[in-house]
Amino acid sequence: MVLVFTQRLTRSTPLKADLILALTAEQRLRGYQKISLSDHPAIYLRLPRGIVLGEGDLLQSEDQGAIARIVAKPEPVVTVTAANSLDLLRAAYHLGNRHVALEITETYLRFSPDAVLQSMVMQLGLSIQEEIVPLNPERGAYDHH
């Protein structure tokens, strides 16, 4: 059975999901793609251009017969920590200058593995740890979700 999801529902919509779609950070940026799951041979996203999906978003199928919930899929990441918040801010500044998809919290920064960026962060005196966890980068100032 082919499922085609064409609409993102509002977060306040109290609907039960028929399907969970675990997507990487990069996949959540693409509204037009095929997703392969072992129990569903053909799932397609055909969302309007510019939609960025986030953890907990609900999608409705083209025929309105199915609801899917988006979850952030664990993926390889680099987690950056610092001895103090100023060092973490400096690292965020330098990573931002390179237009890196970056998850920012009070205690860590997180991005997709990149040897050059990892070296730069270590040269700034910060600690890095390679992990496999969900990546939830900032959506940007112009995303109105």
Give the number of residues written for the chain. Answer: 145
Report the CATH architecture of 2-72. Answer: Sandwich (2.60)
> Which tokens hold the place of 28?
């959540």
Task: Provide the pLDDT for residue 143.
Answer: 54
- Note the pLDDT of residue 85: 95
Cβ neighbours around 112 below 10 Å, total: 17
> How confident is the prediction along the chain (145 residues), in pLDDT tens digits per residue?
789 999 999 777 678 898 999 999 999 999 999 998 877 778 999 999 988 999 999 999 998 889 999 999 999 999 999 999 999 999 999 999 999 999 999 999 999 999 999 999 999 999 999 999 999 999 765 555 4
Q: What are phi and psi of 95, to 5 degrees?
A: -70, -40
> Residue 126: what residue type?
L
- CATH superfamily of the domain spanning 74-134: UreE, C-terminal domain (3.30.70.790)
pLDDT in the model for residue 141:
55
Return the domain boundaries, the chain. Answer: 2-72, 74-134
2-72 and 74-134 agree in CATH topology: no
